[in-house]
Chain A
Amino acid sequence: MKVRKSRRITNDQPQLEMTPMIDVVFQLLIFFIVTIKQEDILSMLSAARPAPDPDAKPEDTPPNVLNIEINKTGFILRGVPVSKALLERRLSNISEYDKKVSVVIRCTGDSPHKFLVQTLDICHKLKLSNLAIFSM
Chain B
Amino acid sequence: MAKVKKVRSAGCDLNMTPMIDVVFQLIIFFVVTMKMTENEYEDIELEDGKHGPIIKEMPPQTLIIELGRRLPFSGRYRISINNALVSEAALSDLLVGRVNRYRNTNFPVLIRADYRVPHREVKRVMDVCTGAGIWKLSFVAIFEHKASKRKGG
Contacts and interface: CB of A to CB of B under 8 A. Distances in A.
B51 to A, nearest CB: 4
A108 interface: yes
Contact of A121 (B20, B48, B126): B48
Main secondary structure on A side of the interface with B: mixed
B95 to A, nearest CB: 14
B122 A116 contact: yes
A45 B24 contact: no
A90 interface: no
Interface stretch (A33-41, A56-64, A75-83, A95-103): A33-41
Contact of B139 (A40, A108, A116): A116
A38 to B, nearest CB: 4
Nearest to A116: B119
Given A39-B146, A113-B122, 12 more contacts: A18-B20, A22-B23, A36-B34, A41-B143, A43-B53, A44-B139, A45-B141, A46-B136, A108-B119, A112-B116, A113-B121, A121-B52
13 contacts: A21-B20, A25-B27, A29-B30, A41-B144, A42-B46, A43-B51, A44-B140, A108-B119, A109-B123, A110-B119, A112-B116, A112-B118, A133-B137
